[in-house]
């Protein structure tokens, strides 16, 4: 499903200094996995997430998404693949304050570059009901709890039926009980919806709830 081969990511700091954020990354994520990328702050896990999520490209190496090599795709092809393949869940929720819960969930369908095979509003209502936030459809983000905001963010990530849910520190702004509920929700999506879920975290207790932990330190995968 996702394969990284000899991936490097370098940044030019000035004329003479190059910072290598990722060094010779090699691993595969298979369809249906419930896994974690774990590492301390500055380890390179966010950079790795951006590459897996098609938000950035490697400086060297190859990245395959379902046999498609991303470096061979143009910007439009990459954007289309990203919108269809991956759903993002962020620590900060990244909801639009001026949009209602339902409008936030529907946002990815507005940016879709093709005719949709489903009724977005109907699907949004179905997801909201499943997540227990259907009574908040017309509420604004600042009027609901952090846990409810994260459920909205997950619902938004699901609206385009992605193959991968990429969750970046999804419990970082939540209390322990609410955070556990969010991880349980992601696990349920993995087990019952057969979605591949990849959680990026620095917390050992969160990583241990997944089936596989990919450890990264100083830009390198730890074996």
C-alpha span between 128 and 145 (Å, rounded): 15
Q: Tens digits of per-residue pLDDT, 27-60?
A: 999 999 999 999 998 999 999 999 999 999 999 9
Residue listed under structure tokens 């970046």: 168
CA-based nearest residue to 23, from 36, 2, 39, 34: 39
Beta strands in the chain (DSSP E): 2-12, 18-29, 34-38, 60-65, 68-69, 86-90, 164-168, 196-201, 212-217, 220-221
Given a contact cutoff of 8 angstroms between Cβ atoms, the answer to whether 161 and 193 are in contact is no
C-alpha span between 141 and 145 (Å, rounded): 8
Q: Tens digits of per-residue pLDDT, 136-185?
A: 999 999 999 999 999 999 999 999 999 999 999 999 899 999 999 999 99
| Fold of the domain spanning 33-56+73-221 | Rossmann fold (3.40.50)
Domain residue ranges in the chain: 33-56+73-221
- What pLDDT band is residue 17 in, cutting at 50, 70 and 90? confident
pLDDT computed for residue 14 by the predictor: 82
C-alpha span between 135 and 144 (Å, rounded): 11
Q: Tens digits of per-residue pLDDT, 72-118?
A: 999 888 988 898 899 999 888 999 999 999 999 999 998 876 788 89
Given a contact cutoff of 8 angstroms between Cβ atoms, the answer to whether 199 and 210 are in contact is yes
Residue 98 CB neighbour total at 10 angstroms? 9
C-alpha span between 61 and 43 (Å, rounded): 19
pLDDT computed for residue 185 by the predictor: 95
Residue 101 CB neighbour total at 10 angstroms? 27
* Residue 212, both tokens: 């596989």
Report if pTM > 0.85.
Answer: yes
């Amino acid at each position: 499903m996702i394969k990284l081969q000899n991936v490097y990511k370098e940044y030019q700091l000035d004329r003479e200094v190059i910072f290598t954020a990722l060094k010779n990354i090699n691993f595969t994520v298979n369809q249906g996995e419930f896994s974690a990328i774990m590492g301390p702050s500055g380890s390179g896990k966010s950079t790795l997430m951006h590459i897996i999520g098609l938000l950035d490209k490697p400086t060297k190496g190859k990245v395959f998404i379902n046999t498609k090599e991303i470096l061979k795709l143009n910007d439009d092809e990459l954007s289309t693949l990203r919108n269809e393949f991956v759903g993002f869940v962020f620590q900060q929720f990244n909801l639009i304050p001026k949009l209602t819960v339902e409008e936030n969930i529907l946002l990815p369908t507005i940016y879709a570059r093709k005719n949709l095979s489903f009724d977005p509003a109907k699907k949004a209502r179905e997801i909201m009901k499943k997540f227990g936030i259907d009574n908040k459809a017309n509420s604004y983000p600042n009027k609901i709890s952090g846990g409810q905001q994260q459920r909205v963010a997950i619902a938004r990530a699901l609206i385009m039926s992605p193959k991968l849910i990429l969750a970046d520190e999804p419990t970082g702004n939540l209390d322990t009980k609410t955070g556990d509920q969010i991880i349980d929700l992601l696990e349920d999506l993995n087990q019952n919806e057969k979605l591949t879920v990849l959680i990026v975290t620095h917390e050992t207790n969160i990583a241990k709830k997944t089936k596989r932990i990919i450890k990264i330190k100083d830009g390198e995968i730890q074996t």
